[in-house]
Structure formats: structure tokens, C-alpha cells
Structure 1
């Protein structure tokens, strides 16, 4: 499947709208996220590796905020639990449509993959089945902060003993010096990947109102408050990190 290069913010906009996962974003999303999120390919592939340890036979594996299904594909490549199936959920119709196309292409290249169901739904209203693995890859940061604890509590209640939540997020930092340094390093990462100052500025303006990152300590305490017993950061690259939360 071919995708376009991300040039969505390359031209000056009279008014920068809030960022939405529409057809324009879907068209360039693989290029956008690779050039914007340090460590993204490593996180995605290793979500599959980690999931293989926690997946239990006959259970559901969730990919919440699945976008184009990169994590779902990783789950299907690595998990071999008998009777397992993946439930990929996203609230963007454009993302869901393209995700189904990508997964169909994966089916044509690999044999004996886990079955997958792709749902267009709001994860805040989702009725969770008993699950052994739940992956949220840069999704919680787009949920309104007051709704995050309730969502994580419901996820915890759906997790079976021995299962895991794998949560990847952009971080912010309470220490202003650390925040400034890692923000500057992230901007350097974007520049090194070919984004102009105009693109960086307009993308920041578009996303500021819709993406609200938390500190690592906020994530840890919220997960404990949701009923998880153990929270282990397993990866960080600049201001992006991934955690394992155990029931």
C-alpha cells in the first residue's frame, strides 16, 4: 500500500484548524508518525513481542486507537495463542477503512494469523470483553484528562490474571529544564526528518488543543489508582515512552 509524504502543514494557513484524524491525515499518516515520533517503529514491533508473553489462549487482545493497524499487525505477527483474536478499535471512519485494507494485505502475505475484528467505535463507550492484552499506542493523550481514570479502570477490570496493558504516550515533565531540553530535542528530531519551521509551528498549533500529555509520574499514579499493581516503563526515546501495567 502506498502512502503520500506528509505535507499537510507545508503551506501557510490563514487559520490552523484543530487536528483531526480525517482523510487527509490518513493519507499521510505512516510518513507523519515515522517522522514525528522518535522510536515509533521500535515501540510498535515490541508491543507484539511483549504481547506474546502475556497473551492467554482463548482471549481477546485489544488495540485501542488502532489508527492504521500497525500495532494490530504486530500482535498478529507475534502472538500464537490458540483461540486468541485481536479487536482493533478506532473512532475515525477514515482510519478504520484504511486499517481494514492494510490488514487484508497482511492476510495475503502471511498464513495462520490471529483473526481480527476492526470496530469503528468510541473506546469510552466500548463494552470490553475479558482480555489478556490491551495496547493503547499514543491514544490516551487524546482522551479528555477527566475521563482517563475511568477508562483505565474499565480496562483493568477487563484484564484477566497474568494479562497486561501496554501504554505508549508522549510525556511532559514537571521540571522546566527537562521539559525545555526534551522539547528542543524533539524539534531537532523533526527538523532532521525534513519538517520546516512552518510545518512544525502549524502542526503544534493544530494539535495543542486536542493532545494533552501527562508526566510519567501522573501515568504511574493513575494506573495504580485504576487498580493496576505494577507499572514498568520499558522504553523511552526523548519525550515518548511506553509502559507495561500489570493487574
Structure 2
């Protein structure tokens, strides 16, 4: 199985909201690698967190699993018996490609995939949940409800890994982070046209929040600890422990 290079926005296209359709599924690994700074580090440490926090006989959830990178990382990291990784995504095209990735890459703990909406998918007996660049695509009015459901599904001592593109309260800092992110994308071969068109397609689809907003909400819900463990530009990953 080969993944295609991301050329979706290399020519002028009609402005359309970004969607995780068949075209995106085919180029998604290249898109992520060239668009999200620090992504390999985040995935590597999801595996490490799984080795430390996943308990015997429990479930792990990858909410918005896309092509299964976090699912595979958890599966590889789990050291306990009787566990299951459950991946959920609402894009049939992404999930089909995800199954192909899971079949192609070595992993040790069972991975079970479901087509569904992460905001109402039943969860229980969880020791780890990954929300890897998923919350930012969910209606802001539904985010507290989803995070509360995750908290309730986690066993005491369970861990949530929440990775997001973030914004900053200070306008100057926010613009700086946008600029250096665009430079990162240029260094990875994207043109000004591609960057501009991709940004326009994500407007009103990807809604970022600030790190303080994320941390305050997690602690209000009940997580005993929540903090940023990784940041590169305007991309962060948070660990929250019940």
C-alpha cells in the first residue's frame, strides 16, 4: 500500500470547507507529516504513555482515529494482557484507509474500528483515551460534553492525551506562531497558494482554543492534573490524569 503526496491545493480550486473525504484519506500521511510540526514525537510518546498507564483488562480509545497512527502507537505500547484499542471515526473513507494501515503495520494489542460520532460513542472501563487533533473539529458547544464523557469512562489513574492546534490570547504572539507555522510548511514543500487555499478551507471548520482554555476546562471537569507536555509553534499536546 502506498500513500500519495499531498497536492490537493497545488492548483486553484473552488473554495470548499475542508472534509475528511477519499481525496484527503489518500494523502493524509503526507499531509500530516508536512503540516503538523512535532507529529512524530507526539505519536512516539503516545506509545510510551500507553506502556506506563494502560492497565490489564481495560479499553483504550482513539477518538477521531483517522488513519490509526495513535491506535497503532497505543497497541504497540501496551504491556498488559486483556486490553483492546478501539478507534472511532465518522469518515468512512478515512476508516477504510485506517484498516489498511492497521493490517499493514505490526502491532500487538487488538485494534477494533468503528464508524461513528465520537460525541455519542459509548465508552467504559478505559485506562487511556487519545484525542489527537480531533477536538478542534468538534462544535465548541459539544466539547465539554465529550470531555466529560471521557472523564467518566476513564478509571481512576487513567490518562487522556489531547493534541490540538491552539491560538494565543496575545495578537502579536498568535500572528508569530501562524507565521512560523507557515514557514514550516514552506520548508516542507508547500507553496503560498497551497497554504492559502488550505487555510481558507479550514476556516470555520477547525476552531482552535488557547492552552489556558483547555486546561481550565479539563480541571473543571474533574481531572486531578492537566498540563502541556509538548509544544512546537501553535501545536500542543496535553496530558490529563483522572
- C-alpha separation between the residues in 2 aligned to 1:180 and 1:96? 34
Query: Per-residue displacement from partner, 1:15-64 (whole Å, max 9, x unpaired)?
Result: 21000000000000000010000000110111111121110100000011
Tell me the CA shift for residue 230 of structure 1. Answer: 0.7
Q: What SS does the aligned partner of 1:171 have?
A: strand
- Structure 2, unaligned stretches of length 5 or more? none
1:6 paired with 2:6, answer: yes
Query: Per-residue displacement from partner, 1:59-115 (whole Å, max 9, x unpaired)?
Result: 000011100000111111111211111001111000111111111112xx45xx101
Partner of 1:124: 119
Tell me the CA shift for residue 241 of structure 1. Answer: 0.5
Cα RMSD for the two superposed structures: 0.9
- Kindly indicate whether the alpha-carbon contact (under 8 Å) linking 1:130 and 1:160 is maintained by their aligned counterparts in 2: yes
Number of aligned residues: 242
Q: What SS does the aligned partner of 1:123 have?
A: coil
- Kindly indicate whether the alpha-carbon contact (under 8 Å) linking 1:150 and 1:226 is maintained by their aligned counterparts in 2: no
Tell me the CA shift for residue 229 of structure 1. Answer: 1.5
Partner of 1:81: 80
1:188 paired with 2:187, answer: no
**How do 1:216-227 residues align onto structure 2 when only pairs under 5 Å count?**
216-227=211-222
Partner of 1:66: 65
1:93 paired with 2:88, answer: no
- C-alpha separation between the residues in 1 aligned to 2:125 and 2:78? 17
Partner of 1:140: 135
Match of 1:206 among 201, 205, 208: 201
- C-alpha separation between the residues in 2 aligned to 1:183 and 1:65? 24
Report the TM-score, using the length of structure 2 for normalisation.
0.98
- C-alpha separation between the residues in 1 aligned to 2:104 and 2:9? 30
Partner of 1:34: 33
- C-alpha separation between the residues in 2 aligned to 1:19 and 1:52? 34
Partner of 2:24: 25
- Kindly indicate whether the alpha-carbon contact (under 8 Å) linking 1:87 and 1:117 is maintained by their aligned counterparts in 2: yes
- C-alpha separation between the residues in 2 aligned to 1:219 and 1:237? 17
- Structure 1, unaligned stretches of length 5 or more? none
